[in-house]
Amino acid sequence: MPQEPENDQKPGGGVAAVERAFAILNAFRAGDASLPLNEIARRTGMYKSTILRLITTLVQEHCIVRLDDGTYQLGSMLLHWGGLYQAALRLDDHVPPILRRLAQETGEGASFFTREGSVRVCLFRVDSSRSIRDHVHTGDLLPLDKGAAGRVLASFDRTLTDPAHFPAQPLIATVGEREPDIAAIAAPVFGTQGSLRGALAISGPAVRFSLDLVPAMSQALLKAASELTRRLGGDSSMLDRADSLSALSNPMD
């Protein structure tokens, strides 16, 4: 078999040419109908000659299309791959591991909710290892207008709320709203085309959601929601830009 050129190998085991090809594909952002060569070079930091050499192969493989005006746009192969990914995607493969890690990192129960009409349903749940905890079970139907997860589902669903009016902060926290003395923090999880796939939440006794613990807990939740969003093919930029909460407050106060 032919060997890869030595200068194309990277210390970590990667292949530089492949990484550069992905950099070209990743140069395209939401809202880009097409990009000229100059802009691709600016966004990737690569020489135009290098880009043109790699684009030749990307065009052959239908990953990029060269338009008549000389600009480039993403090709049909990416849509084909996206369809294969979506067809194989199962929440069961992705949500439980993230919930287990979130529960371990925060010490509180972790849940994933989706909306069903005027209520929310708990699709997945990992309990806290502590003896005193919030009692939520898989399959529970809970109000949409009470609790952090319910508020997230109502606030970030495009079928209920205009995206222009989405809250600037993706984290929503409540205390004692659904159950007395129970606190919760929730964040949205997005899928393809901005769809809301669900709400990721941690919950437990309010006394454990103290001022010194809430920032780390909310940061862990943001990280988990961002990772799950990316796994489900969604845009995680809102979650990646968000700041962790510094305190909890009851919006009903």
Regarding beta strands 182-190 and 196-205, do their DSSP bridges make them parallel or antiparallel, or are they unpaired? antiparallel
Residue 56 is predicted with a pLDDT of 93
Predicted TM-score (pTM) above 0.85:
no
93 φ/ψ angles, rounded to the nearest 5 degrees = -80, -25
Which of the 8 DSSP states describes residue 117?
Answer: T
Residue 243 is predicted with a pLDDT of 84
Dihedral of CA atoms 87, 89, 92, 94 in degrees, nearest 10, equals 180
Residue 9 is predicted with a pLDDT of 53
Name the stretches of the chain with pLDDT < 70: 1-14, 85-89, 246-253
For the chain, where are the E strands, in sequence order?
A: 64-66, 72-74, 109-116, 119-126, 141-143, 172-175, 182-190, 196-205
